């Protein structure tokens, strides 16, 4: 299919890019596409337990893996301009990038020679931070807007789901021998429904264990 015809099937919307609104064409992703980007464990539901866990400072590796997943989703969702076009616009200039990569090479050499211990861990974290700074350059406001559209968050009721809703849905599902998502009325995508099922059963198991 001609690329122009392919692009025509996706809506043109405006989203912020470093504070300025720009027109883009984005596709809403299917459950399989989201999972292919590493989103199989991603949950759009925020419970009380999630808020407690958020108080724990995530490791640099966790932050980088999460950022990498979001960028993978954006890469698949962006139609025009492509993710590659955006990265090319945002990346460091050639001289700075060359110096950056030379620095990465030096850190990598030190990392390979360093014995196991605090110094090696520090070098590994520095390497990860430098790679992230070099490769993940898409502005946060732009990236967040793409993710919101790609996951269908704005037209879904998933952000209204609470822990009590999930627990009650899980109880009903146990009684009816079906899935928790069947007992929550709302607008949910297949990805949302799987999120509901997984989180509802997890909460159900935790509450039953406490009792």
Q: What is the pLDDT of residue 1?
A: 47
pLDDT class for 17, splitting at 50, 70, 90? very high
Confidence at residue 125, expressed as pLDDT on a 0 to 100 scale: 83
Nearest 5 degrees, angle CA 172-CA 198-CA 179? 35
Q: What is the pLDDT of residue 39?
A: 86
Q: Are 143 and 74 in contact (CB under 8 A)?
A: yes
pLDDT bucket at 51, cuts 50 / 70 / 90: low
Going by C-alpha positions, the residue among 151, 144, 136 that lies closest to residue 34 is 151
22 pLDDT more than 70 = yes
Residues contacting 191, CB < 8 A, separation 6+: 29, 30, 31, 34, 39, 151, 152
- Is pLDDT of 52 > 50? yes
Model pTM score: 0.79
Distance of alpha carbon 199 from alpha carbon 44, whole angstroms: 10
Q: What is the pLDDT of residues 55-95, one digit of tens each?
A: 667 777 788 888 889 999 999 999 999 999 998 888 877 77
Looking at residues 12-23, what average pLDDT do you find?
93
Rg (CA), the chain: 21
Instruction: Provide the pLDDT for residue 150.
Output: 93
Q: Which residue has the higher pLDDT, 100 or 199?
A: 199
pLDDT at 6: 53
CB within 8 Å of 34: residues ≥ 6 apart: 40, 42, 73, 150, 151, 191
What residues does each domain of the chain span? 1-57+73-91+138-155, 92-136, 158-211
Average pLDDT over residues 163-171: 95
Which pLDDT tens digit goes with each residue over 102-151? Answer: 888 888 888 888 888 888 888 888 888 887 777 788 999 999 999 999 99
Question: Is residue 161 scored above 70 in pLDDT?
Answer: yes
Phi, psi of 53 (to 5 degrees): -65, -30
Backbone angles phi, psi at 80, to 5 degrees: -150, 120
CB 16, CB 146: distance < 8 Å: no
d(CA 98, CA 106): 13
pLDDT at residue 26 above 70? yes
* 119 against 169, higher pLDDT: 169
Mean pLDDT is highest, among 2-11, 62-71, 180-189, for 180-189
> Could you give the angle at the alpha carbon of 69 between the alpha carbons of 161 and 43, nearest 5°?
15
In this prediction, residue 97 carries a pLDDT of 76
The per-residue pLDDT for 48 is: 61
Share of the chain above pLDDT 90, in %: 51
């Amino acid at each position: 299919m001609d690329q122009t015809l392919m692009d025509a099937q996706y809506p043109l919307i405006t989203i912020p890019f470093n504070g300025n609104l720009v027109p883009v064409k984005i596709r809403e992703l299917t459950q399989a596409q989201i999972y292919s980007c590493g989103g199989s464990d991603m949950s759009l539901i925020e419970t009380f337990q999630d808020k407690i866990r958020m108080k724990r400072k995530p490791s640099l590796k966790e932050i980088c893996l999460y950022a990498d997943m979001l960028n993978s989703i954006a890469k698949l969702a962006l139609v025009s301009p492509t993710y590659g076009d955006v990265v090319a616009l945002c990346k460091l200039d050639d001289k700075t990038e060359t110096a950056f990569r030379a620095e990465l090479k030096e850190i990598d050499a030190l990392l390979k020679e360093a014995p196991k211990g605090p110094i090696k861990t520090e070098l590994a974290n520095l390497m990860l931070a430098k790679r992230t700074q070099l490769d993940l350059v898409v502005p946060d406001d732009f990236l967040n807007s793409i993710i919101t559209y790609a996951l269908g968050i704005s037209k879904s009721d998933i952000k209204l789901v609470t822990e009590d809703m999930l627990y009650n849905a899980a109880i009903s599902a146990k009684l009816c021998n079906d899935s928790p998502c069947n007992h929550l009325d709302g607008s949910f995508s297949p990805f949302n429904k799987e999120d509901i099922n997984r989180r509802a059963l997890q909460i159900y198991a935790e509450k039953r264990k406490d009792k």
